[in-house]
Chain A
């Protein structure tokens, strides 16, 4: 009995390792490898025409965080402020997506089955068109002589064309537009699962609509909110296409900065160091998320279910 159990256990372990091998190799090759190269580069000296010189340097981080190569320049907090602006814009994008998607997901979840699928299809439709084309459409909409301003001027809402394009707002609009499906889908999946009888139970127990929302609806859809926020925040933070098209030279995000370091400034080590900063921020966020999740799981596990009756 024990022997058979043990061999079964061994077989299970073997199967498990077998299954894990493929993704491990895949990740090591395509993810860990490039990442290690990046990591090493952050401690090297830039080559004259791009590339790197194999000479150790800590100044790539120094330039960002507060110590500089005093022979050439002084420490400039501009990189930190660009990073902080990126965080702010990404957070604003997350909030905007959330405010738009949350009620909309509720509305879709209440439609008949056929319409639900149709709306989900609509949400994913933009993916079929090139991102660049879609963003240029927004340039046409937002610029001073664009559709939006023409409409507002025509209706007499404003006297002067609004200065939207090449501002933070344009970038947030653009990123919201691009990332809305990533917010919608996880939100929708948690909202659709929400059991209507729980809402009725709450009302039945005397909770007003607002209390019901805060005490039942919000906590029960929180996984969707958190999940959606994270997968919108991460690509927003490092985004460089939207700010370069809709933000122009006025709104530079950390993504643009990194792009410049690699393509025009030819300072690969510095670009790599900036990239590491973005990654550190994202990792921190994920760690907090995982910590929260595991604490909830632990709470649920502290007492094992007992099947027998109490009396």
Chain B
């Protein structure tokens, strides 16, 4: 795995219109491998666009450096960098046809006409717009424009393709289709993609790795599954997926396993990651779908017992809110059984929690 892009301690701040500084990037470091699909995920305003613009050359960093295939970019202007961008609003040229939009980068690079025609044709085939070459941009639907933007930025085979929330303007069905297509294209072309989104589901589906950004800092950089199962801090835990975060304290450790006591004195056994010593205050992450509702009296194991206060039928599952004295309201997603009366509001319930469904996060502010 060789690095195609390396971001080293990048910092960038803007003058806020109200005065003061906005720190859009704070000491961000990141290494991206060839042919990797990396997603920058974070809420609006966390610095995703700024990071892409720093790579593409539209923002100069205050500190730090960006290397593309080992070459320091410094303040090299955007048109001399071997990266291309799919812009948030596509930014297609309305005065040019679809084919001329796609051929733009080749034309300015002085590629000869026959070669351009061939490569543009191939590219249009690839994104399924073969018959649309002579159309104007205004005559395309949103999904088609999206594909033109993609074709336009891929035709010159950049080392890295930057995509700034490219799917956010599309409706849900089309978005799913484009997610698959994008992933397919990336695979086919072997180009490194840096994909920006604020949609965690999208990030989980598409990425090799995800960098979760918040406040200009990378909170966690991991593969989707690791990110979902083992978030490093509360922000990541809350941002990705549904979560119950219960305050607790580590009471015993033995190797990989450890016991944690919740605020209502229930003790759960979970897996330990990192060094959480006895007595450490932690947040206990239990995903709503990792619990199992007791089917019969005979089921045993560690459980949280409580009373159902809200119950929503959503087809395959019930979404429950379970209350227990001493604990914050606990959300659970359980399979819808034939005997649905068990999940009515007001019913008592035992929720079994498997050991690997208990993940401990060092409480913020507490020394880990």
- A interface list, Cβ under 8 A from B: 195, 197-198, 200-209, 211-212, 215-216, 219-220, 299-300, 302-311
* Nearest chain B residue, comparing its CB with the CB of A305: B139
B87 touches A200 (CB 8 A): yes
| Contact residue among A211, A212, A303, A309 (Cβ-Cβ distance under 8 Å from B144) | A309
Grouping DSSP codes into helix (H, G, I), strand (E, B) and loop, the B interface class, with mixed when no group exceeds half, is mixed
* Nearest chain B residue, comparing its CB with the CB of A195: B91
B156 touches A205 (CB 8 A): yes
CB distance from B145 to the nearest CB of A (A): 11
| Contact residue among A200, A206, A302 (Cβ-Cβ distance under 8 Å from B108) | A206
Docked CA distance A144–B85 (Å): 59
A208 touches B79 (CB 8 A): yes
- B interface list, Cβ under 8 A from A: 56-58, 77-80, 83-85, 87, 89, 91-95, 104-105, 107-109, 128-129, 131-132, 134-136, 138-141, 143-144, 152-153, 156, 174
CB distance from B178 to the nearest CB of A (A): 10
CB neighbours (8 Å) of A216 from chain B are 93, 95
Docked CA distance A308–B87 (Å): 23
| Contact residue among A201, A305, A307 (Cβ-Cβ distance under 8 Å from B91) | A201
CB neighbours (8 Å) of A302 from chain B are 134
Docked CA distance A311–B95 (Å): 26
CB neighbours (8 Å) of B132 from chain A are 310
22 A-B pairs with CB atoms under 8 Å apart are A197-B87, A198-B91, A200-B58, A201-B93, A202-B104, A203-B57, A203-B58, A204-B83, A204-B84, A204-B87, A205-B104, A205-B108, A205-B153, A207-B79, A209-B79, A216-B95, A303-B134, A304-B139, A306-B139, A310-B128, A310-B132, A310-B144
CB distance from A256 to the nearest CB of B (A): 42
B108 touches A215 (CB 8 A): yes
- Given the known A-B contacts A300-B138, A310-B132, are A204 and B56 also in contact in the complex, defined by CB atoms under 8 Å? yes
CB distance from B171 to the nearest CB of A (A): 11
Centre residue among A198, A209, A299, A309 by max chain B CB count within 10 A: A309
- Given the known A-B contacts A219-B95, A303-B134, are A204 and B85 also in contact in the complex, defined by CB atoms under 8 Å? yes
* A to B contact number (C-beta, < 8 Å): 90
CB neighbours (8 Å) of B135 from chain A are 303
| Contact residue among A203, A299, A303 (Cβ-Cβ distance under 8 Å from B78) | A203
A201 touches B136 (CB 8 A): no
A203 touches B139 (CB 8 A): no
CB neighbours (8 Å) of A202 from chain B are 93, 104, 108
Docked CA distance A243–B322 (Å): 90
CB distance from A234 to the nearest CB of B (A): 26
A310 touches B129 (CB 8 A): yes
- Given the known A-B contacts A200-B87, A303-B139, A305-B138, are A206 and B95 also in contact in the complex, defined by CB atoms under 8 Å? no
B108 touches A208 (CB 8 A): yes
CB distance from B104 to the nearest CB of A (A): 5
Centre residue among A197, A205, A303, A305 by max chain B CB count within 10 A: A205
CB neighbours (8 Å) of B128 from chain A are 310-311
Docked CA distance A195–B137 (Å): 15
CB distance from A195 to the nearest CB of B (A): 7
| Contact residue among B57, B58, B107, B174 (Cβ-Cβ distance under 8 Å from A309) | B174
* Nearest chain A residue, comparing its CB with the CB of B149: A201
A309 touches B108 (CB 8 A): no
Docked CA distance A299–B134 (Å): 10
Docked CA distance A308–B79 (Å): 35
CB neighbours (8 Å) of A208 from chain B are 79, 108
Which 5 A-B residue pairings sit nearest by Cβ, starting from the closest? A205-B105, A201-B91, A197-B91, A305-B139, A207-B108
CB neighbours (8 Å) of A307 from chain B are 141
B143 touches A309 (CB 8 A): yes
CB neighbours (8 Å) of A215 from chain B are 104, 107-108
* Nearest chain B residue, comparing its CB with the CB of A200: B58
Centre residue among A195, A201, A216, A303 by max chain B CB count within 10 A: A201
